[in-house]
Structure formats: C-alpha cells, structure tokens
Amino acid sequence: MPYEQLKLSTDKPVLSWANHDLGHEETKMAKNVASLPFVFKHVALMPDVHLGKGALVGSVLATKDAVIPAAVGVDIGCGMAAIKTPFVAEQLEGKLKKIRLDIESAIPLGFNQNKEVEKDASNWQGWTHFKDLHRGVQDVQGKAMKQLGSLGGGNHFIEVCLDTEDSVWLMLHSGSRNIGNRLAQCHISTAKELAKLAGNRLPDPDLAYFIAGTPEFAAYWRDLQWAQNYARYNRDVMMARFKRIVEKHLAGGKPIKPLLEVNCHHNYAEKEVHFGEDVYVTRKGAVRAREEDYGIIPGSMGAKSFIVKGKGNHESYCSCSHGAGRLMSRKKAKKQFSLDDLVTQTQGVECRKDGGVLDEIPGAYKPIDEVMNNQADLVEVVATLKQVVCVKG
C-alpha cells in the first residue's frame, strides 16, 4: 500500500502507511511532532503505529540541527537479532522443552542479571568510554556489566523459529537494559529543564529537545551512541549463548556457521542523508530499510515473523515497521483475555502459558499479515518464520 497524507493542519505533512484512521490521542501526538520548527520535510508513520510518549511508536522523524531524547525513548538501541542455521525441523523433535529450559537457565530474564561478569562482557571495548558518560550513571557500571547478555522484560523475547522450508532460525528481541534507561532519563530531564528555563512553549513537555552545537546536545549524542552500541553487543552476547544451547541439542556441541545473520535497532537515532541534506533521523519503533538492508519484523508470540530486505523508499526515510504493534494496552489485554485464550492462541508453541505473560497474548497485537501488506513498497520478504519455542522476559 502506498502512503497517504493525513488531513492535518500542521507545518509539515504527516505521511502514513497505517491504512487506518488514527485515534484522538494518536492524532494529537502526530500533530504535536509535525508542528515542531526543526522537523524536516515530513513525518512518516509506519503500519504498526500506536501511542508512545512524546512521539508515536512506529514513527520516523528527520530533524535539522536538533534531536528529541524522549522521541528515541528510554530503551535506547532496542532491536532484534536473528540467525539462520543449517539445522532443519526434524532435528528439533522431542527437544523443544529441553531447549526452552536451557535458555531460561543460561540467559537472565526480566529484572535478573548475570551472577558474575562474563569474559564476553568484560572484554567489550565500550567500557573504556564509560567514564565519559553522564555523571548520573557512574554508580551503575557494575550492574551494566552484569546485565550484558540479559534479556529484560516486557515484550522482549527469545525464539526458535522455522521458515517455510523447515530451516531453523534463532531470533531475539532486547535493548540497552537499565543503563540505557538511566542515560535516557538523565538527558530527558535535562532537556525539560532547558525548555523550562528558555520559556519554550512546547505542545508536549516530552518533546523537549537539544540543539546541535550545544554541550547538552554533544553529551546526549555521545551517550546515545554508546547505549546503542551496548544494546547491539547485548544481543550479540545473548545470541552466542543461544546458539551454543541449540548446537548442544542438535549438533552434539559442534559449532555451526550461520547461513545469514541480522542485528538491527528499532529505537534509535543516527545522522543520515535524505533528499540531499544531512539530518538526524529518529526511528521510534521503526527499522532502517535502505536497499539491501536486512531487517526483522516480528509478530506476537503466536504469530508469524519476517526477515525482510529494504527497498530504499525515500518517503519513509528508508524505514519500515518494527513489528505488529500493540492493538490494546497491557492492562486491557489482561482484562479482556483469559489463560484459556492464551493456551489457544499459542497452540503449538513451547512457551510459558501463565498469567505472567497474559499481556503478551497474540490477540493484544495487530494482525501481522495486515501490517506487512501495508508496507509492500518499503520491504520485500526474504523469509517467513513461525516460532516453535518462545521465551519471554
């Protein structure tokens, strides 16, 4: 589906791939962002767009000489990683529960962290720059080191999947853990203080921003890049452990070479060139999809997921959706669905089926096929996956 320009009275147009009308609060949020003076050309909304904080989740902003910390969000660098293995479906028979239990034992979930700092974590080159980060996080380096290689909670997950040719894929979703959250909160607070002192009339306090060339901008950009690198490496460490578990069960512990590897952010900001100009692009719940870029678009814990390749659509700032997108809040999902619904909707998947993951039930998410149909001009599908093991944070 090509995009449509929303009928909004804003300084900059809002282009949407969502193929549905935005709700009142979503419309207000889109208008707030599009009214900012430093927004470049237009705002792009992906097919999975829904309410966020300050900016919509599933939105792509290009800005000139300014960046909005809350638009990036608090899970800086959150994203996906996946590898295609040479294993096939029949090799998994009778082993799914053992694999799930090993994952849950080897990779800390939720608020948990590693008991000791592992070699992979301590060797990360990013630690040499930790002392340069915001003073508000200098007391948590030990925690950050122990959390490298941990999943986190919410909608973060680890999955064993099969594609349509019965090849086995390993996939996971995670970000920058507590350290990314702490850094984001420090800078969001600073941006709000600056806006208040300057008397800036913002349509939403969460749209407080930093201007390029200022010390505050430089400090945020430095910390942002650090946290994005931490998030990417966090996924690498987890994927290495995950791969060893699957190798133990399917190859007697013999290492295998992945046939394809993908690791992509979907909550982040980078400096890019669009329409011939240098801009800061913030993807809040969106994946970069330049030509030949590989990306990952997961469904819910009972639905299909997709490995994609970008088409380089310039109107979307070379972006695509980051998933199915929530259809309802976690609170509403818990009220509307029962454990029996969860069991039914995750049939055939080796996963937890208890109240702790009820808010992640597939019915709480938009239909992934509809989301994919709406972005046929943004990406091409490389592989269609269906999970057989799902571990939630």
Of 362, 353, 356, which Cα lies nearest the Cα of 393?
356
Distance (Å, rounded) from C-alpha 286 to C-alpha 46?
A: 7
Give pLDDT tens digits for 330-388. 899 999 999 999 999 998 899 888 888 899 898 988 889 999 999 999 999 999 999 99
Predicted TM-score (pTM) of this structure: 0.95
Average pLDDT over residues 95-105: 97
**301 annotated to a ligand binding site:** yes
Other CB atoms within 10 Å distance of the CB of residue 334: 15
Give pLDDT tens digits for 223-266. 999 999 999 999 999 999 999 999 999 999 999 999 999 999 99
Distance (Å, rounded) from C-alpha 345 to C-alpha 23?
A: 27
**75 annotated to a ligand binding site:** yes
Other CB atoms within 10 Å distance of the CB of residue 49: 27
Q: Is 272 left (phi over 0), alpha (psi -120 to 50) or beta?
A: beta
Q: Supply the pLDDT for residue 271.
A: 98
Average pLDDT over residues 45-74: 96
**323 annotated to a ligand binding site:** yes
Question: What type of residue sits at position 353?
Answer: K
- Mean pLDDT of all residues belonging to the chain: 95
Catalytic annotation on 50? no
Percent of the chain with pLDDT over 70: 100
**265 annotated to a ligand binding site:** no
Q: Supply the pLDDT for residue 1.
A: 60
Average pLDDT over residues 29-39: 96
* Per-residue tokens: 61: 């902003």
* Per-residue tokens: 327: 């259809």
Of 263, 259, 305, which Cα lies nearest the Cα of 87?
259
**24 annotated to a ligand binding site:** no
Torsion angle of alpha carbons 374, 378, 384, 385, nearest 10°?
-90
**249 annotated to a ligand binding site:** no
**134 annotated to a ligand binding site:** no
Distance (Å, rounded) from C-alpha 335 to C-alpha 212?
A: 45
Cβ-contact 138, 358 below 8 angstroms: no
Of 259, 81, 296, which Cα lies nearest the Cα of 170?
81
3-state secondary structure of 45: strand
Q: How far is CA 260 from CA 101, 125, 295, 304, 307, in A?
A: 26, 25, 12, 19, 10
Other CB atoms within 10 Å distance of the CB of residue 292: 9
**363 annotated to a ligand binding site:** no
Nearest 5°: phi and psi at 215?
-60, -35
- The pairing of strands 304-310 and 57-63 is unpaired
Q: Supply the pLDDT for residue 328.
A: 85
Cβ-contact 107, 244 below 8 angstroms: no
Catalytic residue among 42, 187, 265, 322: 322
Question: What type of residue sits at position 392?
Answer: K
pLDDT(393) > 90: no
pLDDT(303) > 90: no
Which domains can be identified in the chain, with CATH numbers? Answer: 4-327+365-392 (3.90.1860.10), 328-364 (no CATH)
**156 annotated to a ligand binding site:** yes
Average pLDDT over residues 38-58: 96
Q: Supply the pLDDT for residue 58.
A: 96
CA angle 70, 137, 287 (to 5 degrees): 40
Cβ-contact 58, 17 below 8 angstroms: no
Instruction: Report the range of poorest mean pLDDT among 70-79, 235-244, 305-314, 336-345.
Output: 336-345
* Per-residue tokens: 190: 């600073």
* Per-residue tokens: 264: 């992509």
**322 annotated to a ligand binding site:** yes
Give pLDDT tens digits for 144-203. 999 999 999 988 999 999 999 999 999 999 999 999 999 999 999 999 999 999 888 899
Distance (Å, rounded) from C-alpha 302 to C-alpha 167?
A: 18
**Would you give the DSSP letter of residue 22?**
-
